[in-house]
């Protein structure tokens, strides 16, 4: 009996619905595995369809197309190693999240996912049927058990595989990033290794899909929980992993253990990669954004330059009479430092025309928020006109603090196709700007150095929609606001939790009220990069009409 088994791991980036392209990527990985003498080439969960494909996989025509591509892939990869790939699978009236082992020109084995996640961004209970607890499949001289993603977070699937003869575990995943996720995964996988006393290989995909980014970071564990190898985060990569038979069974041969960056760098890379993949996978090449001279648009412009290259980013200053000279100077300085195209489009004449048009209707009424919102909506109108004319996607620039409490104008500064900082609180915006000024990586397409002027970071935030306006006129100071939002949004905490943390009860109630009454804005807002388990969109779903408030 051979004492060596080689697996080629494809930590790759699929595109939802691109069946031909995903199959082509799978064949490319398989060819590299064949060249390396692999016994098995493995790809992540649902790789052929792309993940998270949501209700798309319930379409009968899509299911049939997946099967056609799966059979063609099996035929193309007949002469060489087995190929393991995730794809939806129909049996009778049931639809499964499945993992297929292709050998000798056919689908030789199929593993059906048993535990279907039904939390955060996942709705698999409403999409898929739960498969039964099953046994391992054979490849060459080995019996392999493959708990599919969520299945490895529960002890029963891995234990059943061990009891029915699995010699090691290969776990295919479509596991998206949130801050601290790698440690959570590692802890769960260590538990499976300790329980089963089997080696475990955790294979994750990479790439952006709508708001989610799959961060890779595939790894292997030997019995006892010892780390055998660790692949990079966020990078598409192919690794050849060897297992060696010992008197105690298979053991993963030690390989490279890539160091992962800190949380600040990972968050920033998620925002860059999510925008880059959103653009690439939807077909857009260029973006534009309103550049106000403030910190939010500054970090979005920088993310865009790093994601797409400065030559593909148009920055537009749209000043009114309330725009300060420092904002004008700061916006231009930022655009020049980044190397982005810069346009200057004053809105005063358009605002005056709208004011005259509405004057007969508004006669006898004092100026209020209406007039402020007209400015924001006029900017949105002009930016969308430029987006249409130039074929450039408009980025919106509201941070999570503003998105949470509705401190943004619907159909105004909320207009746009994507929001890279939608899950980044204002206090983290400041720190992220400082981080980017001090750090540059080879995956950034923008220039190195302190590209965001210090003046932008230091000055008090303001929407500049009236004289001497400051954000603090309407909201608690951002450190306090963000701390309360983390309690009320990210932790789904209570008013009492805010009070226990030292905040004024009435202020906490006001913040809670603003969160609830702003739901209709978020319902219509652009998607954005998910950084936490408390992101607005699929992680947190509340009714638009909601009269309940915390009675405490």
Peptide bond into 23 cis (omega under 30): no
- Per residue, the 3-state secondary structure of 452-477, as one string, reads CCHHHHHCCCCCCCCCCCCHHHCCCC
Q: What share of the chain is helix, strand, coil (3-state, %, to 5)?
A: 40, 20, 40
Residues 499-507: contacts with CB under 8 Å, at least 24 apart: 507/476, 507/480
User: In the annotation, is 496 catalytic?
Assistant: no
> What is the rounded CA–CA span in Å between residue 125 and residue 128?
6
What stretches of 206-257 adopt beta strand conformation (E)? 206-209, 212-215, 219-222, 226-230, 237-246, 249-252
> What is the rounded CA–CA span in Å between residue 226 and residue 140?
26
> What is the rounded CA–CA span in Å between residue 527 and residue 416?
9
Which of these, 178, 193, 185, lies nearest to 121 by C-alpha position? Answer: 178
> What is the rounded CA–CA span in Å between residue 4 and residue 37?
11
User: In the annotation, is 149 catalytic?
Assistant: yes
Catalytic residue among 45, 150, 392, 512: 45
| Cα–Cα separations (whole angstroms), residue 132 to 42, 74, 161 | 22, 24, 12
> What is the rounded CA–CA span in Å between residue 266 and residue 261?
6
Catalytic residue among 77, 103, 113, 167: 113
**Contact of 486 with 427, CB cutoff 8 Å:** no
Catalytic residue among 77, 124, 149, 521: 149
Give me 452's structure tokens.
Answer: 């965001």
User: In the annotation, is 113 catalytic?
Assistant: yes
Which of these, 195, 212, 196, lies nearest to 204 by C-alpha position? Answer: 212
* Residues with Cβ within 8 Å of residue 518, at least 6 apart in sequence: 403, 404, 405, 406
Catalytic residue numbers, as ranges:
45, 113, 149
């Amino acid at each position: 009996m051979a004492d060596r088994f080689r697996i080629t791991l494809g930590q790759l980036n699929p595109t939802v619905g691109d069946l031909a392209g995903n199959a082509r990527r799978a064949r490319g990985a398989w060819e590299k595995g064949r060249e390396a003498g692999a016994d098995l080439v493995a790809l992540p969960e649902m790789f052929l369809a792309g993940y998270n494909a949501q209700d798309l996989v319930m379409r009968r025509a899509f299911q049939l197309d997946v099967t056609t591509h799966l059979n063609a892939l099996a035929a193309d990869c007949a002469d060489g190693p087995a190929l393991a790939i995730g794809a939806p699978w129909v049996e009778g009236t049931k639809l499964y999240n499945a993992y297929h082992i292709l050998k000798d020109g056919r689908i030789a084995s199929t593993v059906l996912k048993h535990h279907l996640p039904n939390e955060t961004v996942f709705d698999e209970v409403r999409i898929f049927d739960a498969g039964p607890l099953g046994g391992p499949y054979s490849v060459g001289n080995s019996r392999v058990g493959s708990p599919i993603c969520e299945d490895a977070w529960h002890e029963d699937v891995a234990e059943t595989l061990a009891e029915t003869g699995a010699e090691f575990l290969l776990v295919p995943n479509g596991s998206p990033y949130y801050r601290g996720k790698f440690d959570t995964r590692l802890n769960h996988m260590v538990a499976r290794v300790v329980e089963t006393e089997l080696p475990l290989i955790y294979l994750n995909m990479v790439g952006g899909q709508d708001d989610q980014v799959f961060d890779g970071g595939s790894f292997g564990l030997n019995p006892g929980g010892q780390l055998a190898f660790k692949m990079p985060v966020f990078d598409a990569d192919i690794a050849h992993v060897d297992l060696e038979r010992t008197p105690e069974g298979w053991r993963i041969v030690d390989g490279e253990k890539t160091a992962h960056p800190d949380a600040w760098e990972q968050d920033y890379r998620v925002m860059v990669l999510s925008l880059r993949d959103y653009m690439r996978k939807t077909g857009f090449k260029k973006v534009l954004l309103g550049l106000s001279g403030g910190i939010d648009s500054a970090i979005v412009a920088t993310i865009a330059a790093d994601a797409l290259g400065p030559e593909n980013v148009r920055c537009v200053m749209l000043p009114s009479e309330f725009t300060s000279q420092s904002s004008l100077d700061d916006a231009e300085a930022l655009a020049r430092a980044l190397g982005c195209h810069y346009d200057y489009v004053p809105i005063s004449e358009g605002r005056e025309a709208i004011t005259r048009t509405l004057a007969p209707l508004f006669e006898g009424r004092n100026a209020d928020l209406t007039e402020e919102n007209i400015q924001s909506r006029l900017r949105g109108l002009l930016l969308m006109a430029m987006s249409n004319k130039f074929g450039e996607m408009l980025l919106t620039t509201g941070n999570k603090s503003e998105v949470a409490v509705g401190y943004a104008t619907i159909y105004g500064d909320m207009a746009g196709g994507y929001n890279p900082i939608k899950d980044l609180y204002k206090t983290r915006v400041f720190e992220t700007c400082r981080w980017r000024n001090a750090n540059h990586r080879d995956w950034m397409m923008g220039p190195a150095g302190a590209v965001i002027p210090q003046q932008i970071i230091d000055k008090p935030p303001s929407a500049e929609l009236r004289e001497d306006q400051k954000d603090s006129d309407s909201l608690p100071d951002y450190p306090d606001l963000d701390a309360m939002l983390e309690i009320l949004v990210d932790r789904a905490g209570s008013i009492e939790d805010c009070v226990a943390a030292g905040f004024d009860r009435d202020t906490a109630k006001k913040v809670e009220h603003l969160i609830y009454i702003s739901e209709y804005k978020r319902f219509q807002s652009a998607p954005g990069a998910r950084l936490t388990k408390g992101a607005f969109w699929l992680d947190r779903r509340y009714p638009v009409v909601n009269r309940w408030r915390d009675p405490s």
